[in-house]
Amino acid sequence: MSGGVRGGEVTYDGRSLIINGERKVLFSGSIHYPRSPREMWPSLISKAKEGGLDVIQTYVFWNLHEPETGKYDFSGRRDLVRFIKEIQALGLYASIRIGPFIQSEWSYGGLPFWLHDVPGITFRCDNEPFKAFMQNFTTKIVNMMKSERLYASQGGPIILSQIENEYQMVENAFGERGPPYIKWAAEMAVGLQTGVPWVMCKQDDAPDPVINACNGRKCGETFKGPNSPNKPSIWTENWTSRYQAYGEDPIGRTADDIAFHVALWVARNGSFVNYYMYHGGTNFGREASAFVTASYYDDAPLDEYGMINQPKWGHLKELHAAIKLCSNTLLLGKAMTPLQLGPKQEAYLFAENSSEECASAFLVNKDKQNVDVVFQNSSYKLLANSISILPDCRNVIFNTAEVKTQTNTRTRIPIMYFNVSDQWEEFKEPIPNFEDTSLKSDTLLEHTDTTKDTSDYLWYSFSFQHEPSDTRAQLSVHSLGHVLHAFVNGVPVGSAHGSYKNTSFTLQTDFSLSNGINNVSLLSVMVGLPDSGAYLERKRYGPVAVSIQNKEGSMNFTNYKWGQKVGLLGENLQIYTDEGSKIIQWSKLSSLDISPPLTWYKTAFDATGEDEHVALNVNGMRKGEAWVNGQSFGRYWPSLRTPRGEPSQISYNIPRSFLKPTGNLLVLLEEEGGDPLSITLEKVVIDSVCGKARASPYRHYNGSREAKLVHLQCAPNGYITKILFASYGTPFGGCGRDGHAIGYCDSPNSKFAAEKACLGKRSCLIPASDQFFDGDPCPSKKKSLIVEAHCGPISIMG
């Protein structure tokens, strides 16, 4: 792989990073290599570059690379070196956050679980066993990068590295063992002599020469600043939305809010900002941390499927271009004293070094209302909660609240149904009794210490003899998390679960006792390991107290003869693979409307459309995991609803690289009992685009005045086939979630003019002007234009 960016010496001062002697304002975006197949990497990086990014940032995932002590894996989507070389080939810089604790909503925060069993270990503090393993892995990664000459000091793309991660949030919990650990970590990292700077995020006292960096949504307001005047302001995580947890409502973030805080960061001396995430991707298999969905930061500028998410991607691209026009002044000039323009309005000014005259300016309005201000003897309208960028201190080239980029709408269209019983086969997971277990104990064993993270599942079984006069009884189990399914004499009697914010719960369920021997089997289920907090190695999960009560009294079985069994039979036999599926005897699909819990389902299907993004809609299923051709594409849990009463995730990304042209093996494990006949395969497309523009002309950076435009553009291979809505006048609403409707006045030519300009084209421009629409529909009103169009194959025009 040749060509691309070439590095050089990387240093810094109080203004910026300096690469090969040149100061840089750098826009970066997080794309995590294991959260997308490597076949997607070039496209993702290319779209990031087109969006105005200079740097791609990634964590390094220790437990993915060293699943067993001293045994490393850098294959497939784990190929870190190849990922960095792809970044280099496409002409961008790279930033690697080695950690090696990373959090990142990744299981165990990226730490391999085998660390848990190291004698005398305490994670992330002045503890010799932990420091030895941490140094070993960090050195391993640094040496890999060096051997491939990937650091900028060697001519490669890596300009920045990170050690540790948000340690200040837990440091106090470790008492006197916290500060020495941070000092050691900094010295260890710097001692590896990468030739590029190191950062620590959320660590105000990061030891020199390590740079303390900010994480959060509003670092322009919250960051205390570098802890030395010789360090630049670096924003390592500017959250573009938020990850979602099962049972929690999604938390989004608008394009204008992100742009506002980036502009404020730059105005206040920031020179490096990283979007977390720029592309989130997918938490495949069991890689997500506790209760986190398979889909990760789907509302990022590039969505889970790698498609451009508008207006976020386009609005930020325009922001980057506007700031870059100011970069010489920002980097080589000097910041002047901010001017107060009003109660909640201020101006940040920059001058050339040889002059006291304003060369570039950022006009900030923190009011919820539009405000008129006077600046440099000229009047400016500042939109509510916005920043206007003036590269020449005169003309506004960009306003963070004025989103000119179109909004696109993503749709999932069913392309295949699995609603025929003969398509499916099933295998009922056997329920083990005490005699079937190999691990015996006199008390309940802790879940994760027993499974060693080899499985989400751990069986707890016991038997007792009782001859009750009344068969009615109640089983009570208190668990520290995450899920529990209870069976008595092989019959399901109840389930319960914790939540993202409180993993503990108590299962209480009524059942009937049998005369003689009664077998109780409890299936404890983890939904990912925790990814944050102090003393991760001490966290406990699974059942901790068990009792059975009937009218004769209460029987406590907490300290009793227990049998434990790790994993499920189907899991251990890998019946989700082609070879493993042939080991067992599958049965025809049950005729029951809702199948019994703990059932495996198997079918096969042929792929359609080589370039289509596809997803599996698990409607009808309740909780489990899904595989295609032996590769898990994540845990599913539609039965756990959000406060709004909706599943957190219903459609699951299946990367094209997971599929074969024909004969794809689809296997699902259903824990609670579901209906596989309701499942559908969907194609995921951008099928509509919408734009809005105000009719008032604006003054260009070059001084000219021209009408504002609605610019519509379909995704590749798409054409504008229909105008869904068009109104020039006073339309209500906007694009996206806002919705729209015809307002008090509307040009009768609105739809005709839009159709004439756009139908049959991949993209079109529609001026928001009286001239274009043959007249002014309401002379006394301020007008705007909204147009929404359908995108699709040219064959469906109509």
Catalytically active residues are 166, 237
Alpha helix ranges (H) inside 426-506:
447-451
Report the candidate in 379, 391, 312 with the shortest Cα–Cα distance to residue 345.
379
CA–CA dist 331, 325 (Å, integer): 11
- Cα separation, 465 vs 513, in Å, equals 10
Q: Which sign does the torsion angle of CA 465, 469, 470, 475 carry?
A: negative
Give the 3-state secondary structure of residue 454.
coil
Phi, psi of 207 (to 5 degrees): -65, 145
* CA pair distance 488, 76, nearest whole angstrom: 44
Residue type (1 letter), 698: Y
For 629, the token pair is 């051709």
The torsion angles phi and psi of 517, rounded to 5 degrees, stand at -80, 130
Beta bridge partners of 379: 374
Cβ contact 211:201 at 8 Å: no
CA 661 to chain centroid, in Å, comes to 29
> Distance (Å, rounded) from C-alpha 350 to C-alpha 240?
28
Q: Which of 516, 541, 536 is nearest to 465 (CA)?
A: 516
The dihedrals phi and psi of 453, each to the nearest 5 degrees, come to 60, 25
Verify cis geometry, omega within 30 degrees of 0, for the bond prior to 482. Answer: yes
Which residues lie closer than 8 Å to 35 by C-beta, 6 or more apart? Answer: 77, 280, 281, 282, 283, 284, 296
The answer to whether 122 touches 180, Cβ cutoff 8 Å, is no
> Helix, strand, or coil here: 796?
helix
Find the largest Cα–Cα distance for the chain.
Answer: 98
Residue with tokens 């520290």: 480
Q: Which two tokens stand for residue 621?
A: 């299923």
Indicate the SS3 state at residue 397. coil
- Residue 145 backbone phi and psi in degrees, to 5: -65, -40
According to DSSP, the β-strands at 270-279 and 705-706 are: unpaired
DSSP string over 306-339: S-B-TTHHHHHHHHHHHHHHTHHHHHHSEEPPPE
Contact call for residues 707 and 769 (beta carbons, < 8 A): yes
d(CA 128, CA 131): 5
Q: Identify the DSSP state of 45.
A: H
Using only C-alpha atoms, the chain has a radius of gyration, in whole angstroms, of 29
Cis-peptide, bond into residue 277, ω within 30° of zero: yes
Residue in 47, 136, 41, 135 with CA at minimum distance from that of residue 80: 41
CA distance 538 to 557: 24
Tokens, residue 178? 């916290």
Distance separating the N- and C-terminal Cα atoms of the chain = 46
Distance CA 190, CA 28 (A): 23
Residue 335 bridge partners (DSSP): 350
Distance CA 681, CA 651 (A): 9
Helix (H, G, I), strand (E, B) or coil at 18: strand
**Torsion angle, CA of 251/255/261/265, rounded to 10 degrees?**
130
